[in-house]
A = this chain, B = another copy of it.
């Protein structure tokens, strides 16, 4: 492991710089009244499909939503998400395997955050590296497709330790797989006992309403709506 120590040392510095910037982003988000929710997963777990459906659903409920989406290459995801009619920006990272707070800050340039209820950040498809990089979000959500296997929370513990919720996606495929939902949830709770668990299928729509409800609650939109109602009373 002779090549590691120098990289680890510099990586620590980068993480520290990132944390400082993420902290100031978090203050900025709080001041603007926007809740930020980031999504992490392996490639192909269904982040973009789920996010497109979420943005559409939340817009139908007159929530003001927007998204930043990270990828190594292509702007395909931003184009897909734009179909929801929500404001969307692509962050193309080149060879960088995760988003960083500085990339988020640059991508926000010119957006009026106080006009948003929720900003989603879709990370690069990678269940390893994004876990260490704070983006100033209020919640990280780890998406695990049931096609990936029920052992994944134990094998990629950092992603699940850092998350507020685990979304089990593609549950319409469960009849064709050897995936034990209860075992997977037990593994996830062994890593993070407070993890909320949501089971969804973007294809059949199963579980989407519950996920939207969780997001509304977690993002404080319900509380804000109540507060507004109280003010108007």
Contacts and interface: CB of A to CB of B under 8 A. Distances in A.
Interface of A: 1-4, 6-7, 10-11, 13-14, 17-18, 21, 42-45, 71-74, 76, 95-97, 100-103, 106, 124-129, 132, 145, 147-149, 151-152, 154-158, 170, 172-173, 176-177
A13 B2 CA distance: 12
Contact of A44 (B72, B73, B149): B149
A95 B170 contact: no
A135 to B, nearest CB: 12
B3 A14 contact: yes
A105 to B, nearest CB: 9
A78 to B, nearest CB: 12
A106 B1 contact: yes
A7 B4 contact: no
Nearest to A71: B155
A193 to B, nearest CB: 18
A128 B132 contact: no
A71 B128 CA distance: 11
A162 to B, nearest CB: 12
Sort A-B residue pairs by CB-CB distance and give the 6 closest, nearest first: A44-B148, A147-B147, A97-B128, A42-B42, A10-B10, A42-B43
B132 A95 contact: yes
Contacts of A132: 95
Contacts of A126: 97, 126-129
Given A10-B6, A106-B1, A151-B76, A156 B42 contact: no
Contacts of A7: 10-11, 14
B125 A127 contact: yes
Given A1-B106, A71-B155, 10 more contacts: A3-B18, A3-B21, A3-B100, A43-B155, A44-B147, A72-B156, A76-B154, A76-B155, A97-B128, A126-B127
11 contacts: A3-B17, A3-B100, A6-B14, A43-B152, A44-B147, A73-B156, A73-B157, A126-B127, A147-B173, A173-B173, A173-B177
B44 A102 contact: no
Nearest to A97: B128
